[in-house]
Structure 1
Amino acid sequence: MHRLFVAVRPPPDIRARLLAIMSGVNGARWQDDDQLHITLRFIGEVDRHRANELADALRDIRFPPAELALSGVGSFNRKGQVHTLWAGIQPREPLVKLHQKIDRICVRAGLLPDDRAYLPHLTLARMSRSAGSAENFMASHAALSSVPFAMTEFDLYESHLGQSGAAYHLIERYPANYR
């Protein structure tokens, strides 16, 4: 089985900017450079045949390049407790449109539609129940921003879970196009 997801990888200077702010919350499991990406669609576990079918079908997606930028920080909560810290992305619309196209490809390949609201972001840290408060981090980085960076492609990745977290391996890259 192959555990797949589709994502945009920001350039090195944007990842370095994020890595520089990732600290100050006790017990947070901060992402490393190899893990920083904007997820467009989590696919999950699929067999080799479906993985190949999806990789082929993603080649048919047409999208223009877009200029994106970091925009603030936020968190996802579960039962009133922060479980993920993230950096926001603006504008959202190019990523939302691309997410919708990828989701339609996944549904045609027999996967369930992604019924969660899509919020473009880069995960910075995962929080355990015993992690410290993220309030100071959130306040300190609320105005996070960056120079615009180009989204000229998206990627298909395979995720391997291990004792030290997930390792991501690039399967295929899909360039922007105008057709």
Structure 2
Amino acid sequence: MSHYFFAAAIPDEIKAAMKDNMEELKQQFPFRRWVHHEDLHITLAFLGAAPEEKLDMACRLVGEAIHGYAPFEMEITGLGTFGRKEQPRVFWAGLNKSEELNNLRARVFQACEKAGFQLETRPFAPHLTLARNWQGEEPFDGSSNDMLKLRRFLLDEVVLYRTNMDRVPKYDPVKQFRL
């Protein structure tokens, strides 16, 4: 069964640049699964499995909530992890603090709740997931890493994605909303 989520889209030229960075990072950091560069995104609201009517309502409400929202600059600022420090489950690229992104996420999140979705309530931690599941023989140590080249980009689109677990890349855009 497919799962759905709303995300801020990453421009294709940034995805291509990140592909090169990720190839370098793979040499240093042995994670079990690396994300395909075309699947890079900033998750705004994870919906899970959903009936079509509920998705349609969420799309309508998200479209209304972000109508007139202006594009804004973002910057990839460094690397980090989620999970145990010595054996992280997620390796990510971080983003600059952005009131615009926080407000955009709040609008999308509230629209999805209004459409009847039960969303996770963890604090919003914007990032680009690069890899999952550390499998190195030594404990993870990302402190010496300066391989990530900082990237600026214009965030100008929110997308409803569908997950296809048996394909790579695995996220298909269902509906796009230009800012």
Q: Mark yes or no: TM-score above 0.5.
A: yes
Distance (whole Å) between structure 1 residues aligned to residue 148 and residue 50 of structure 2: 39
Which one-letter code corresponds to 1:59 in the other structure?
Answer: G
Structure 2 vs 1, CA of residues 79 and 69 (structure 1 numbering), >3 Å: closer, same or farther? closer
Distance (whole Å) between structure 2 residues aligned to residue 145 and residue 79 of structure 1: 23
Identity of aligned residues (%): 27
Distance (whole Å) between structure 1 residues aligned to residue 149 and residue 81 of structure 2: 14
CA RMSD of aligned residues (A): 2.3
Aligned to 2:129: 123
Aligned to 1:18: 18
The residue correspondences of 1:140-179 to structure 2 (distance < 5 A) are 140-141=145-146, 144-146=149-151, 148-162=152-166, 167-176=170-179
Aligned to 2:144: 139
Q: Residues 7-47 of structure 1: CA distance to partner in whole angstroms, max 9, x if unpaired?
A: 12222232223222221222431111221111111111111
How many corresponding residue pairs?
Answer: 172
Aligned to 1:8: 8
Q: Residues 118-147 of structure 1: CA distance to partner in whole angstroms, max 9, x if unpaired?
A: 01110000115x3454414x531376412x
What is the TM-score when the length of structure 2 is the normalising length? 0.84
What is the TM-score when the length of structure 1 is the normalising length? 0.84
Which one-letter code corresponds to 1:84 in the other structure?
Answer: V
User: Does the 8 Å CA contact 2:21/2:148 hold for their aligned counterparts?
Assistant: no
Structure 1: tracts of 5 or more residues without a match: none
Structure 2 vs 1, CA of residues 96 and 90 (structure 1 numbering), >3 Å: closer, same or farther? same
Distance (whole Å) between structure 1 residues aligned to residue 15 and residue 88 of structure 2: 23
Structure 2 residue matching 1:61: 3-state secondary structure: helix
Structure 1 residue matching 2:49: 3-state secondary structure: strand
User: Does the 8 Å CA contact 1:2/1:48 hold for their aligned counterparts?
Assistant: no
Q: Residues 136-163 of structure 1: CA distance to partner in whole angstroms, max 9, x if unpaired?
A: 4x531376412x211111111111222x
